[in-house]
Copies of this chain bind each other. A is one copy, B any other.
C-alpha cells in the first residue's frame, strides 16, 4: 500500500455489486448503445498517477483480488476470488483530481498513453488471475471492463456498496 506522505502511483475505489452495467459504446445513428454487465461481484474504479510503472501491477492486482471486500450470503467477508464473484473494471481518471478553488485539476495523472498501457495490463492480469483460479473458473465468473478515455455510463445495484479506497 502507498505509505502515508508518499504520492501514490495508483488509486482504486472498490464497491461490491449485485449487478453492474457499464456502457462501452454510446448509441450512434442506427446503432444501439453497447453495454457490458456483471452479476454479483466487485466494481474496481482505477486511476494511475505519473510515475506509475508496470512493476506495480502484479502486487496491485494481487491485493485487490485477495483482500476481503465481498460479503457472502451469510454476511462473512471474503475475497472476490473466494466469493467467487465477477469483476467490473472502470477506468476512472477523475479519481486523480485535486481541488483547486472551485475546479478539479488532474496534473498528477498518468499521461494518456502510459495510462492506457497500465490500464490494459491491469485488466489482462485480473483476467488471468480469475481464469487461473479453480473456484472462479468453475463458477464461470468473468472480468468485464470499460474503455480507457471514454465516458463511463454506469448503472449499479448493490447490497451495500461497502466502498473502500486502496492506494498503491
Contacts from A to B (Cβ < 8 Å): 1, 4-5, 7, 11, 13, 45, 63, 66-69, 79, 90, 92, 94-95, 97-99, 102-104, 151-166
A85 to chain B, nearest CB (A): 16
Q: Are B69 and A161 interface neighbours, CB within 8 A?
A: no
Contacts of A158 in B (CB 8 A): 153-156
Integer count of this chain's copies in the complex? 2
A15 to chain B, nearest CB (A): 9
Contacts of A67 in B (CB 8 A): 99, 102-104
A–B Cβ pairs within 8 angstroms, 16 of them: A4-B7, A13-B13, A13-B163, A45-B163, A63-B99, A67-B102, A67-B104, A68-B102, A68-B104, A94-B164, A95-B165, A152-B161, A155-B156, A155-B158, A156-B157, A165-B165
Q: Are B99 and A165 interface neighbours, CB within 8 A?
A: no
Q: Are B66 and A163 interface neighbours, CB within 8 A?
A: no
A69 CA to B105 CA, complexed, in Å: 12
Other-chain residue from B4, B45, B104 in contact with A161 (beta carbon distance below 8 A): B45
Q: Are B151 and A160 interface neighbours, CB within 8 A?
A: yes
